[in-house]
Amino acid sequence: MWRLHIVFLATFATASLIRPHRETLLETVDSGENVRAAYHDEMALLDGETRQLDSMILEVESNLLHALTTFQSVKNASSNQSKTAPVKAEAAKPKNLTLAKAVPAKPAPTNFVMSKADVNATLHNEQTLLADLMKHLNNQIGNFKKEDTESKEMAEKMKKKFAEKLKNDEAALNKTGLRDFDRARLVNATRMDKQDLAYWTKDGELRHTMVHANLKMSTGLLTSVKNVLDVYNQAVKKGGVDDGLLKKVQAAALTGGSFLQLRKDLKQRMQKYQAALLQQ
């Protein structure tokens, strides 16, 4: 589990270093390199975010599986404890020692039994782990929301910049008495202005869609963890696990197939975003 935390932090740190470079580059470069530079930096940023979310899916899957297994173990141990009862001694009966046959004694079945203190400690420990995971997910959701806001602001800023530049270049192009060199330069400038403006208009829409989908996925993971944690809270108050609580945990935790599908959806979403940017 600690390895996944390290991967998450390293990926987040890498992604956070990309944006300053991207903003500086796009503010200082006014040429046909704008779109290509923006595309490469955007893909690097999104690749980091995708890896970050993929790591989170794996971490949630690992934690919920562990929580479910722990709950089942506590339930089994509690059942074994309730079944353990002193065996009443049967009344002594006269036996024919001559005819009696020696029968090998069967080994008594060994069942794992947890004390009340062990049950409470186990539930409390898992409760703490799930609470920490919820904080982790809330932080990620906060980062996605911040990224969405920054991306919107960036797209609006760049659209305004290139719209103004296009307006000025077109006005200059419409002037009379231009030399052939100046006319050719302005024709090329307006063409690039339109490309840049189209990129930032489309990028803003695609970026918002991508971040919104990531937010929805993160929120779904958070809900699953919260539902399992709620059942653990009930078990802690009750001081044990019964069939009803076990069924609630089983219903609240996502299945392995669900997590696999989440990872597939994330990968496909990234591929579609990349293809859409390349079409510009």
Task: Pick left, alpha or beta for residue 239 (phi over 0 → left; psi -120 to 50 → alpha; otherwise beta).
Answer: left
Compute the distance between CA of residue 214 and CA of residue 203 in angstroms, rounded to an integer. Answer: 16
**pLDDT tens across 168-178, in order?**
999 999 998 99
Compute the distance between CA of residue 275 and CA of residue 98 in angstroms, rounded to an integer. Answer: 90
CB 173 within 8 A of CB 183: yes
Domain ranges of the chain: 2-24+34-81+114-278
Task: Pick left, alpha or beta for residue 177 (phi over 0 → left; psi -120 to 50 → alpha; otherwise beta).
Answer: left
Neighbours of 199 (CB within 10 A): 22
**pLDDT tens across 98-136, in order?**
434 444 544 444 455 678 888 889 999 999 999 999 999
Compute the distance between CA of residue 71 and CA of residue 253 in angstroms, rounded to an integer. Answer: 12
Mean pLDDT of 191-200: 89
pTM here?
0.69
Mean pLDDT of 24-30: 45
